[in-house]
Amino acid sequence: MTDAYIIGAGQSDFGSFPDESYRSLFDTAFDEAVDSIDADFDTGEIDEAFLGTLGVGGRQLGLSGPAVTEHIGLHGVATTRVENACAASGYALRNAVMAVRAGMADVALAGGYEVMTDMSGDHTKWWLGVSGETEWERLSGTTFAGVYAQMASAYLQEFDATVEDLSRVAVKNHRNGAKNPHAHLDFECTLDDAVNAPDVATPLNLYHCCPTTDGASAVFVANERVAHELSDAPIRVAGAGAASGPVGLFQRDSLTSIPASRTAAKRAYEEAGVGPDDIDFAEVHDCFAIAELLAYEDLGFCDRGEAARLLREGVTDSEGSLPVNTSGGLKSKGHPIGATGTGQVVEIFNQLRGEAHVPVTDARIGLAHNVGGSGGGVTVHLFEREEGAT
């Protein structure tokens, strides 16, 4: 079995773009990903495409993958649309890695796209929270903000953490995102701003929630031979973990941990032969501030109940020993649902090639953590810069 490598990664700006469509946004991301490949790349070499989208707004709900690849001129390429809510393109990447490792594709395209901001207020409401457990969780009156708020309520009750600690996530991620030219909310905020914002779903306020965003991202995955032909510094996919869990929060044993994150991380670490201590930086799924705290613990960055300490001590700041979300994360960079998973990989690709806007010095191993819904499906990928590269 060949290893799989990331040889190119790109994204559109994340934001609100009434003049763009899901296809034009992907077109931009695709071009940037092609440009990021060191050698000249003939897009006719793409064997498979896996594109993630939830399909917010309906749009081309059926066959949206082929609608995109045909639109950008990848005529005839076998295209699979992947739907796993917010982890859609994390899973698209996983499929691309599997196709390459299995030898069915020399080069596979993984990506995602979502347009969320061009609908009426009424229409938008119907499409938020469609990935929660529908029959019970949604019909108890919650969208995702409510479900993550419930997790936060249980977490703040169980552990030594406060609303201020949740706000620290916003301060850190905005500080990073302000330097990212692709970020949706590219401004800094103070702890005071992030503590005193209007409530969305208590205990979560506006600064504890990511925005709804338009955007697209694209990543090229190649086998070992092609990777080294086309790239001066290909990034090896050292571990690809994924797991499912109950879709509804109420169906899980713990309200303060996402079991699928733990399992996916365990699988990725085992495959890569590394542990949490070996991680140099991470892009984690911070759709809501509490999610970043849970991620620290579920990914093994700290023990249960210790996440707030990491934030207070600056461990996960860009200058800390384990920077998290140097891209700005979902909070600042934005969360165009289907584009988020491979969007995280864009940051990791840039970091490991020394091209990031918020650089992490001597980074060798990066982790991407992508969560679908409130934890129904999770991918954890580990990426490694080859020795001697950059």
Partner 1 sequence: MSDDRGIVSTGIYVPRQRLDSEEIESAWGSSPPVSRVTVPAADEDAITMAVAAARDALEDTAVNAADISCIAIGTTTPPLDEEAFVPRVADALALDDDAQLSSATQSTVAGANALLSAAETDGAALAVVADSPHAEPGESGQRMGAGAAAFLFDADGAVVLSDAATRSWDAPGVRFRERGSDEVAELDITTYERETTRDLVSNAIEALDVEPSAASGAALHQPTPDIPHRIARPLALDGEVIERGSVVDDIGDVGTATPTIGLLAAFDACEAGDTTIGGFFGSGSTAVALSFESRREIETGVAAALNDGEFVSYPEALRERGTLGTTGVAGGGAHVSLPSWQRTLPQRYRLVAGRCPDCDSLAFPPEGACPGCRERVDFQHFELPPTGEIVAKTVIGQGGAPPEFIEQQRRDGPFGVAIIKIEVEDGSVRLPAQLTDCDPQEPTVGDFVTATFRRIYEVEDVTRYGLKFTPE
Catalytic residues: 86, 335
Under rule CB under 8 A, residue 336 binds partner 1: no
Among 140, 162, 244, 257, binds partner 1 (CB under 8 A): 140
SS3 label, residue 306: coil
Is 41:106 a contact under the CB 8 Å cutoff?
A: no
Q: From the CB of 154, what's the least distance to partner 1, in Å?
A: 4
Q: How far apart are CA 370 and CA 368, in angstroms?
A: 6
- Residue 318: name the closest of 133, 207, 175 by CA: 175
Question: Binding partner 1 by CB under 8 A: which of 141, 181, 277, 361?
Answer: 141
From 10-18, 136-144, 170-178, 278-286, span contacting partner 1 (CB under 8 A): 136-144
Taking the complex as a whole, how short is the minimal distance between the CB of residue 100 and partner 1, in angstroms?
32
In the numeric block, which tokens belong to residue 326?
A: 């140097």
Cβ 383 vs Cβ 347: under 8 Å? no
Judged by beta carbon, residue 201 or residue 235, the one nearer partner 1 is: 201
Other C-beta atoms closer than 10 Å to the C-beta of 135 total 8
Per CB under 8 A, 69 contacts partner 1? no
Of 201, 216, 302, 315, the one binding partner 1 by CB under 8 A: 201
Query: Which residues neighbour 303 within 8 Å (Cβ) at sequence distance 6 or greater?
Result: 297
What is the layout of strands, in order, in the sheet containing 4-11? 78-82, 48-52, 107-114, 215-223, 4-11, 235-244, 377-385, 365-372, 281-283
Tell me if 145 contacts partner 1 by CB under 8 A. Answer: yes
Nearer to partner 1, 170 or 249 (CB): 249
Please give the DSSP secondary-structure letter assigned to residue 107.
E
Candidate residues 151, 315, 330, 345; the one interacting with partner 1 per rule CB under 8 A: 151
The footprint of partner 1 on this chain (CB under 8 A) covers a number of residues equal to: 44
Closest to partner 1 by CB, 287 vs 382, is: 287
Which of 150, 261, 325, 374 is close enough to bind partner 1 by CB under 8 A? 150
Cα separation, 62 vs 42, whole angstroms: 28
Smallest distance from partner 1 to CB 294, Å? 13
Cβ proximity to partner 1: between 78 and 128 the closer is: 128
Angle (nearest 5°) at CA 221 between 336 and 366: 70
Is position 199 an interface residue for partner 1 (rule: CB under 8 A)? yes
Q: How many CA atoms lie within 13 A of 161 on its CB side?
A: 31
| 241 closest CA partner among 349, 367, 336, 342 | 367
- Under the binding rule (CB under 8 A), the answer on residue 249 touching partner 1 is yes
**Nearby residues of 140 by Cβ (< 8 Å), 6 or more positions away:** none
What distance, in Å, lies between the first and last C-alpha atoms of the chain? 26
Site string for partner 1, 35-64 (x = CB under 8 A): ---------------------x-x------
Question: Contact letters (x/-) for partner 1, 250-279, by CB under 8 A?
Answer: xx---x------------------------
Nearest approach in angstroms of CB 256 to partner 1 is 9
Query: What is the contact surface with partner 1 in residues (CB under 8 A)?
Result: 56, 58, 119-120, 122-123, 125-130, 134-143, 145-146, 149-154, 157, 198-204, 246, 248-251, 255
